[in-house]
Chains A and B, each alone.
Chain A
Amino acid sequence: EAGVAQSPRYKIIEKRQSVAFWCNPISGHATLYWYQQILGQGPKLLIQFQNNGVVDDSQLPKDRFSAERLKGVDSTLKIQPAKLEDSAVYLCASSLDRGLAGGRGTQYFGPGTRLLVL
């Protein structure tokens, strides 16, 4: 079974530029997550999709970050304009269920996109 795919793997941009990340979840996984992991910290949830609807985006800096999930499958996360503090690894994860009604909710993570903002 193929895992969660992400691209690009690395990106270097200057501050105030824009950048976009792509994620393809495991086939059949209804729930998709984007996390930001700053060096030396645990991942922080940015947004959670259930199919193509947003379940939780309470920690997404909406003045500069946006995300969409096309047709309930692939997703893109965009930053515009980028700031120095956005330098981090952006992780995409997917799960078969959300852990409700007896489900385990186990999340499977992609390899991440490492972003450096100069």
Chain B
Amino acid sequence: ELKVEQNPLFLSMQEGKNYTIYCNYSTTSDRLYWYRQDPGKSLESLFVLLSNGAVKQEGRLMASLDTKARLSTLHITAAVHDLSATYFCAVDKVPQGAQKLVFGQGTRLTINP
């Protein structure tokens, strides 16, 4: 059974600092997705990582995937308050892709001025 674990679950940081959220998963997959959720809102797609070594960047966020280590990272550069949200990674439990996603617990990120 595929398990997806995020670390840390809670993160409070100062504006301007850098930090990384980790997403580990337990079985083989090369399809990983990152989503953002604001309080009381639905999920918004951030990144789609479809192969080993994939790296995607959007603004101050950068995501990468290492399928051999079964690890994805979401790196935040020079954080700003607008990035405060809960971030979820999700892994497709079917290696070749079928959108049968298993989500991590989420990382609640708070960025303080």
Select from chain B the residue with minimum beta-carbon distance to A104.
B48
Chain B residues in 8 Å Cβ range of A45: 100-102
Instruction: Please give, as numbers and ranges, the residues of chain A lying within 8 Å of B99 by CB-CB distance.
Output: 31, 33, 48, 95, 98-99, 105, 107
Chain A interface, number of residues (Cβ within 8 angstroms): 27
Cα–Cα distance between A108 and B99 once the two chains are bound (Å): 12
The residue that B92 contacts in the complex, of A41, A99, A108, with Cβ under 8 A, is: A99
Complex Cα–Cα for A110 and B42 (A):
6
How far apart are the CA atoms of A34 and B35 in the complex, in Å? 16
In the complex, the answer to whether B45 meets A55 with C-beta atoms within 8 Å is: no
The docked-state distance in angstroms from the alpha carbon of A106 to that of B100 is: 12
User: How many contacts A-B (CB < 8 Å)?
Assistant: 65
Q: In this assembly, does A14 line the interface, its C-beta being within 8 Å of a C-beta of chain B?
A: no
Q: Is A2 on the interface with B (CB-CB < 8 A)?
A: no
Q: How far is the CB of A103 from chain B (nearest CB, A)?
A: 7
Which of B33, B41, B42, B105 touches A41 (beta carbons < 8 Å)? B105
Report A-chain residues with C-beta under 8 Å of the C-beta of B78: none
In the complex, are the beta carbons of A56 and B100 less than 8 A apart? yes
CA distance A106 to B46 in the complex (A): 10
Report yes or no: B98 in contact with A99, Cβ–Cβ below 8 A: yes
- Interchain CB contact (< 8 A) of A42 among B50, B97, B98, B104: B104
The reply to whether A42 and B92 form a contact with Cβ atoms under 8 Å apart is no
Question: Could you tell me if A109 and B43 are in contact, using CB atoms closer than 8 angstroms?
Answer: yes
Cβ-defined contact, A91 with B48, below 8 A? no
Interchain CB contact under 8 A, B42 and A44: no
* Chain B 91-113 interface mask (CB, 8 Å, partner A; 1/0): 01000111111111110000000
Interface residues of A (CB under 8 A from B): 31, 33, 40-45, 48, 55-56, 91, 93, 95, 98-100, 103-112
